[in-house]
Amino acid sequence: MSSFKIIPGDPDSHVILHVPHSSREIPSRVRTGILLDDAQLKLELDEMTDSHTDQLAYESAKIAGKQPWIFINELSRLVIDPERFPDDREAMNSVGMGAVYHKNSHGLKLRTSEFDQELLDKYFHPYALAIEALVNERLLALNRCLIIDVHSYRPIAHANSMNKDDLRPAICIGTDPFHTSRSLYESARSAFAFIGDIVENQPYSGTYVPLKHYEKDARVEAIMMEIRADTFLDDVLTPTCGLAQIVAGLQQLVRSAST
């Protein structure tokens, strides 16, 4: 099983929709290292998975005019989290949720650390290299690249989160001082304004950029859309009519960035 999938976009599109957290898939060998029974694992995946964000990307890409590229993680973030730093820079290490999670959303032990290196070698590093290569390819073709990082988050902060005192708006826009221009931020605000309240960098901040380009290559722009899950999913994580609105917002952002 490949751990990620790239869906090609228009050769003239510099936009990549990155979907890192939508999958619930865990390879059987990795499953055996997770210290939860099946019922507990289902609850953990309900809490931690950005459910249906892959659908948001697919549907918005189809109607965005110039079709963006899609890079999607086909494995659960409980295997590896591709958006964490794989080293001491990662603040989430302090709560056991770095590149390889050792704790679950309740702060309880999720796995031992004996397979960390294997997980990083088998899944984290190949993923990082593949998205870096896709960014390089877009740069080579068009001399610019925009990564739109597509996430959702739960209405109520989980027990092991580090942002319990932050606001939890309908839409959180994650920005980076080096990679997110103000005009890109404003485009995202106006594309999603009709959904509800929008806050920058709360409860999640920053946005994903491959480490090779991070704070080095200004041709790589990036922005993170964190969509509060109750704007498009019901209590059992089934899409509501709100999903079409989020898709409309996302395709609007892709369109405005593509001009």
Residues near Zn ion (CB under 5 A): 21, 50, 151
Instruction: Name the β-bridge partners of 244.
Output: none
- C-alpha 112: how far from its chain's center? 25
Q: Which residue is nearest to Zn ion (CB)?
A: 151
Q: Which is nearer to Zn ion, 18 or 138 (CB)?
A: 18
Q: What would the two tokens of residue 13 be?
A: 């599109």
Within a 10 A sphere around the Cβ of 135, how many other Cβ atoms?
A: 26
CB of 92 to Zn ion, least distance (A): 12
Q: Which is nearer to Zn ion, 14 or 77 (CB)?
A: 77
Q: Which is nearer to Zn ion, 22 or 67 (CB)?
A: 22
Q: How far apart are the first and last CA of the chain?
A: 37
Tell me how far apart the alpha carbons of residues 169 and 25 are, in angstroms, rounded to a whole number: 28
Distances (CA, A) of 4 to 21, 80, 209, 226: 11, 12, 16, 21
CB of 11 to Zn ion, least distance (A): 29
CB of 114 to Zn ion, least distance (A): 26
Cβ–Cβ under 8 Å, residues 179 and 221: yes
- What is the SS3 string spanning 20-73? CCCCCCCCHHHHCCCCCCHHHHHHHHHHHCCCCHHHHHHHHHHCCCCCCEEEEE
Q: Which is nearer to Zn ion, 97 or 255 (CB)?
A: 97
CB of 50 to Zn ion, least distance (A): 4
Q: Is the bond into 203 cis (omega within 30 degrees of 0)?
A: yes
Q: Which is nearer to Zn ion, 115 or 204 (CB)?
A: 204
CB of 77 to Zn ion, least distance (A): 7
CB of 88 to Zn ion, least distance (A): 22
Q: Which is nearer to Zn ion, 150 or 257 (CB)?
A: 150
